[in-house]
Structure 1
C-alpha cells in the first residue's frame, strides 16, 4: 500500500516567492503550447529545468491552497515536454494524439494559472484579526525573500532538505520505484 502523504511543510511566504520565480517558466509553457498547437513537436532541453523542477516539487507541499495546484500543473507541463522528447528520440511522434495532447497541455496551463499563489495569503478559516495579521506577515516575509536572495536560497535549501528527508513517504517515491522496476 502506498504511504500516506506527508503534511504540507512549505510556508506560504516561501511558496509565493517560489511561484514568483517560476514566472519565466509560465511564458515558456505558453510558447511551447502555441508551437504544439501549430502541429509541430519540438525538443525542449528539460535538463535545464532542474531548478524549476525543484521549485515545483516544493510547491506541491505548500501550506497554501493555490500554490500546490500551481506547482502540480506546471510540473505536469515539464512531464509533457519530457514525453514529447521521448517520442522524438524514438521517432514515434506520429503516435501522439495531437488533439488530446494539446487539450491536456492547455488544461494544465489553464488550471495552473487560475489560482494565484499570492491568494494563499488569505485564509478564510481565520477570524478577521488573525487573518489581517497573517496577511501582513505573509506580505512582509515575501518582500524580505524578494529583497534578499541569500535568505530565499537558505529557505529553499531548508525546505528541500526536509523534502529529501520525507521523500520515502511520498506517492512520488512509490511511482519512481515502480518505473525503475518496469
Structure 2
C-alpha cells in the first residue's frame, strides 16, 4: 500500500513537504535575520550617553530582559548634588525603565522615562539612527504628542564624586 500519492511517477506528497520545508527554512532565516538586526540595534544603544543639553550622562544597559538607563553624571555648581521632586539626590537614579523592542522591525525600543523634577513618568522610545547617536522621544499617550531629543555617545572623563561631570 502506497501512502504517498504519486504524480507522474513522483512522490507528490514528499515534493510538497520538501517545498514547504525549504520555504519554512527561508522564512526562519529571514526572521532570525530581523531578530539579529533588532538585537544589534539594541546593542548599539548600550553604553554612556550625553544628554542633548550636555548637562547629564546616562548609562544605558540591559536590566534582565529589558533595557534601562541610569543618570550617572550631572553638570552642577557647588558641592550640593541636585535633588528630585521627592528630596532624594538625582545621582544614580534610574530614569529609563522597561524598554523592549517595539513590534515591527523599526529598531526602536519602547518604555518609560521619569521626570525627576515632577515625578511624572512618561512613555518613551529610544533608537539609534546612526552610530554614536541616540534619539529619545518622550510623550504622553501617543508619540505624536511628544518631544524628541538627540543624545550623543559620551567620550569624556570619569565622573567625579556625587555624579559630578568633569
Class of the TM-score when normalised by the shorter of the 2 chains: under 0.3
TM-score where L is the length of structure 2: 0.22
Which structure's relative contact order is higher, taking Cα pairs within 8 Å and 6+ residues apart? 1
TM-score normalized with structure 1 length: 0.21
* Greater per-residue strand proportion: 2
Max Rg structure: 2
